[in-house]
Chains A and B, each alone.
Chain A
Amino acid sequence: EDQVTQSPEALRLQEGESSSLNCSYTVSGLRGLFWYRQDPGKGPEFLFTLYSAGEEKEKERLKATLTKKESFLHITAPKPEDSATYLCAVHRGNKLVFGAGTILRVKS
């Protein structure tokens, strides 16, 4: 059965303190791994798609990487506005299977 596990469940950082979020997955034949950002009371906002091991994508302070078993979302010098829940998902058929998310809080 396809599974997506995110860690940690919650992460508190000081402004400027870089860190990484983890998304491990078990799925046969990965068709795409997606990262989303979700603010409270809002729908998930698409960030990145990764398709193959070794692929990397960047957007502002965020960088997503992919291996055969996991993906990392690296946050460099975060700011308070980066506070949100970060979700990862894998594509299976025409469905996305989501992890439970990591709640990130960045304090100034």
Chain B
Amino acid sequence: KQEVTQIPAALSVPEGENLVLNCSFTDSAIYNLQWFRQDPGKGLTSLLLIQSSQREQTSGRLNASLDKSSGRSTLYIAASQPGDSATYLCAVRNSGYSTLTFGKGTMLLVSP
């Protein structure tokens, strides 16, 4: 059964820092991996989707990489801002299934 782990569970940084969030998964047979952002009491907003054949995706200050063979993905946030404060979730789409397995998230706090 697929397991997704996110490290660290929480992260606090001053504004302007570049930071990396990590996601690892146990079964490398995946279709894709998606990064989400969740604000307190709110739904999930999709940030980036990486297909299994891709190595990375970029959107603005965000860059996500995928190393499928080693079961790892990273989300890089450049020049962090207080508005980036949220919980970041990664989720993998498992091959052969239509299920999505989520990590428990990294809670990010960016201080002014």
Q: Do A and B actually bind?
A: no
**A: which residues have CB within 8 A of B?**
none
